[in-house]
């Protein structure tokens, strides 16, 4: 069912994810800039949630923000991601999470390109990429 939540125990998440993926998606960690698998990916396809496989972003909305993380100006099909005010690290940001499994994805900023003016700055470790061919 499309809107069904994906709920697992901490033990189940730890069995499914690498230590780094768990730290980022379940403990709201961040990978170092320019280190993630997808920050420089130019292939055509879909980006899925690493934890639950929900389709989150389309490569057509991805752009090079220069930040070192995969950046998108909107989620796939205008999906509404869960947003949480984040006051960590001495700044005010808006954290974005997967609406299906509550995985930490990254943050959204209001300095992106048109048509939205938004920059969804996402950790590669929160994503799986499905190529639309070679």
Q: Which of 49, 51, 101, 121 is an active site residue? A: 121
- Give the integer Cα–Cα distance in Å for 56 and 111: 20
SS3 125: helix
Instruction: Reduce the secondary structure of 3-40 to three states and give it as a string.
Output: CCCCCCCHHHHHHHCCHHHHHHHHHCCCCCCCCCCCCC
121 given a catalytic annotation: yes
Is residue 63 within 8 Å of 116, Cβ to Cβ?
A: no
SS3 83: strand
Positions marked catalytic? 121
């Amino acid at each position: 069912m499309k809107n069904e939540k994906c709920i697992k125990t901490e033990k189940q998440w730890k069995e499914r994810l690498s230590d780094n993926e768990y730290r980022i998606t379940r403990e709201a960690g961040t990978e170092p800039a320019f280190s993630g698998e997808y920050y420089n990916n130019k292939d055509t396809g879909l980006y899925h949630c690493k934890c639950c496989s929900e389709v989150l972003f389309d490569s057509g909305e991805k752009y090079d923000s220069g930040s070192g993380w995969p950046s998108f100006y909107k989620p796939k099909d205008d999906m509404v991601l869960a947003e949480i005010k984040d006051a960590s690290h001495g700044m005010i940001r808006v954290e974005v999470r997967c609406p299906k499994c509550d995985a930490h994805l990254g943050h959204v900023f209001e300095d992106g390109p048109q048509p939205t003016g938004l920059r969804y700055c996402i950790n590669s470790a929160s994503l799986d990429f499905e190529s639309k061919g070679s």
